[in-house]
Structure 1
Amino acid sequence: MSHAPVHVVVADEQRLLRESLCALLDTEPGIEIVGQTGDLADLFTLVTRVRPDLVMIDVQMVPADDRVAIATRLLHGVPRCRVLVLSELEQPRLVQSLLDLGVHGYLHKGVGYGTVADAVRAQHGARSHQTVTLPLHRPAPHLAGSGPVTGTELSARELEVLTHAAAALSNRQIAARLGIAEGTVKRHLSNIFEKLDAVSRLDAVNKASSMRLIHPGNAQGAPRLRVAT
Structure 2
Amino acid sequence: MPVPATPPRPLEVVVVENHESTLAGIAELCAAHPEELRLAGGHTSLDALDLDGPAPDVVVLDLLLGRDDVLSTPAIPRLRDWPAKVLVHTSEEKPVVLRAAVLAGANGVALKNDGLGALLGALRDLREGTHTVSSALALALLEDASLAAALTAREVEVLQGVDDGLSHKQIAARLGIAQHTVKSHVDNACAKYRRIGRPVTNTVSVVRQARSDGWLDG
Q: TM-score, normalised by structure 1?
A: 0.56
AA matched with 1:10: V
Query: Tell me, what secondary structure is at the counterpart of 2:126?
Result: coil
1:73-112 paired onto structure 2 within 5 Å = 73-76=78-81, 79-112=82-115
Paired with 2:145 and 2:11, the residues of 1 have a C-alpha distance of 32
1:9–1:52 Cα contact (<8 Å) kept: yes
Paired with 1:65 and 1:143, the residues of 2 have a C-alpha distance of 26
Aligned residues: 153
Query: Tell me, what secondary structure is at the counterpart of 1:10?
Result: strand
Query: Tell me, what secondary structure is at the counterpart of 1:122?
Result: helix
Q: Does 1:30 pair with 2:36?
A: yes
1:6–1:31 Cα contact (<8 Å) kept: yes
Give 1:199 deviation, angstroms.
3.0
Aligned CA distance change for structure 1 residues 106 and 4 (closer, same or farther; 3 Å): same
Which blocks of at least 5 consecutive residues in structure 2 are unaligned? 1-5, 152-158, 166-203, 209-218
2:122–2:134 Cα contact (<8 Å) kept: no
1:134–1:140 Cα contact (<8 Å) kept: no
2:60–2:87 Cα contact (<8 Å) kept: yes
1:1-229 paired onto structure 2 within 5 Å = 1-28=6-33, 29-42=35-48, 44-45=49-50, 47-49=51-53, 51-61=55-65, 67-76=72-81, 79-124=82-127, 127-133=128-134, 136=137, 139-145=140-146, 146-147=148-149, 198-199=163-164
Paired with 2:73 and 2:16, the residues of 1 have a C-alpha distance of 16
Give structure 1 regions of 4+ aligned residues with deviation exceeding 6 angstroms: 62-65
Which blocks of at least 5 consecutive residues in structure 1 are unaligned? 150-193, 201-206, 212-229
Q: TM-score, normalised by structure 2?
A: 0.58
Paired with 2:43 and 2:138, the residues of 1 have a C-alpha distance of 31
Paired with 2:71 and 2:25, the residues of 1 have a C-alpha distance of 27
1:93–1:144 Cα contact (<8 Å) kept: no
Identity of aligned residues (%): 19
Aligned CA distance change for structure 1 residues 10 and 65 (closer, same or farther; 3 Å): closer
Paired with 1:117 and 1:54, the residues of 2 have a C-alpha distance of 12
Aligned CA distance change for structure 1 residues 69 and 140 (closer, same or farther; 3 Å): closer
Give 1:108 deviation, angstroms.
1.0
Paired with 2:112 and 2:119, the residues of 1 have a C-alpha distance of 9
Paired with 2:90 and 2:100, the residues of 1 have a C-alpha distance of 15
Give 1:87 deviation, angstroms.
0.4
Larger radius of gyration: 2
Query: Tell me, what secondary structure is at the counterpart of 2:41?
Result: strand
Give 1:113 deviation, angstroms.
1.8
Give 1:73 deviation, angstroms.
0.8
Paired with 2:136 and 2:163, the residues of 1 have a C-alpha distance of 25
